[in-house]
Amino acid sequence: MARLLLLNGPNLNLLGQREPETYGAATLEALVARARATATAAGHELADFQSNAEHELVERVHAARKDGTAFLIVNPGAFTHTSIALRDALLAVALPFIEVHLSNVFARETFRHHSYFTDIAVGAIFGLGGAGYELAVRAAAERLAVRAGR
Ligand code: DQA
């Protein structure tokens, strides 16, 4: 059993109410529950953390280094396009992660086309809505199984 951490950045606490035509009708709680069920079925544990504050996300990543987290799934929200600090935190802890976006950022404004995370991520999922979190959990579980030689 491994510990996964699902990290969500600013404004994702408003999922369900926030621009549903772009982000869907499901709440963050519902998406986390779905991702957690997938993790549990794969024999893993999923912790989650959402914050609107950059420093809190950075500190949660630092804590992941010490709390036994093996793999992260990260939707940095708008920090995707701005946060060198969060990028550096992920590099500092050297934990593998998958970047997830609910919307297809490449079909949107050009300022959303650049990510500070994609080049250092194991992989990225965008445009698949809440299913993206679930798919990321499955991909993480496969990676962890390969690493464990299973
Ligand atoms: C997002 C895309 C970002 O551009 C945006 O700022 C978000 C959500 C997504 O999940 O599609 O807050 O990360």
User: Model pTM?
Assistant: 0.96
d(CA 31, CA 134): 8
Residue whose entry in the numeric block shows the structure tokens 């544990």: 45
What letter does residue 43 receive in the DSSP assignment?
T
Tens digit of each residue's pLDDT (9 = 90 or more) over 115-131: 999 999 999 999 999 99
How remote is the CA of residue 67 from the centroid of ligand 1, in Å? 27
d(CA 109, CA 2): 37
d(CA 86, CA 108): 23
**How crowded is the C-beta side of 6, counted as CA atoms within 13 Å?**
27
Which pLDDT belongs to residue 150? 65
Tens digit of each residue's pLDDT (9 = 90 or more) over 74-110: 999 999 999 999 999 999 999 999 999 999 999 999 9
- Mean pLDDT, the chain, rounded, equals 97
d(CA 120, CA 6): 17
The alpha helices in the chain, defined as continuous H runs, are 20-23, 28-41, 54-66, 84-93, 131-147
Nearest atom (ligand 1) to Cα of 100: 10
Which of 101, 111, 115, 128 has the most ligand 1 atoms within 8 A of CB, as the residue to mutate? 101
How remote is the CA of residue 79 from the centroid of ligand 1, in Å? 8
Report the phi/psi class of residue 11: left, alpha or beta, with left for phi > 0 and alpha for psi in -120 to 50: left
Instruction: Give the binding-site residues of ligand 1, using a 6 Å CB cut-off.
Output: 11, 75, 77-78, 80, 101-103, 105, 112
> Active-site positions?
23, 101
